[in-house]
Amino acid sequence: MVYWVAVLIYGLDQGIKWLVRTHMALNQTIPVIPGVLEIDYIRNPGAAWGILPGARWFLILMALAVIGVVLYIERTKHLNTWFRMGLGLVLGGALGNLTDRVITGRVVDYVYVQAIHFPVFNLADASIDAGVIAILIGSWWTDRHRKARPPKDVKR
């Protein structure tokens, strides 16, 4: 499941970014829901919210570290569905933004929630966030069920 989710997210992310790059001018805005949601084509040289501009190689190394940790966890741990889904979302998102950073040095961002003035982001960013939430749910679920059952070596 982890790899299927990652491939789906990666493909969608790169496909949407390609559409934005080829059908919009840089800094162009297209209202989707006026006053609420826009498609804004920007190229972010940093991390989330534009922090760490110019830290391309650091961000590439961080993405590679995240990918390595995801692969290690997936291969060595027994995981529930929430956790596996979360790992796939994080992996796909990390690969999507990593691809942009390696090829152009900047990440294509395009979703702007104007209603709350949230910084412009992309599908890869949203997938990483959703993946972390799913991993937290998966961890909570595992801990909750582990505490609810007595260990196997305890006799009643």
Give, for all 156 residues of the chain, the pLDDT tens digit.
Answer: 899 999 999 999 999 999 999 999 999 999 999 999 999 999 999 888 778 888 899 999 999 999 999 999 999 988 888 999 999 999 999 999 999 999 999 999 999 999 999 999 999 999 999 999 999 998 887 655 555 555 566 555
For the chain, the domains span 2-148
Q: Catalytic residue numbers? A: 109, 125
CA distance 116 to 59: 27
Which pTM does this prediction carry? 0.86
**Sign (positive/negative) of CA torsion 92, 71, 3, 87?**
negative
Eight-state DSSP code of residue 118: P
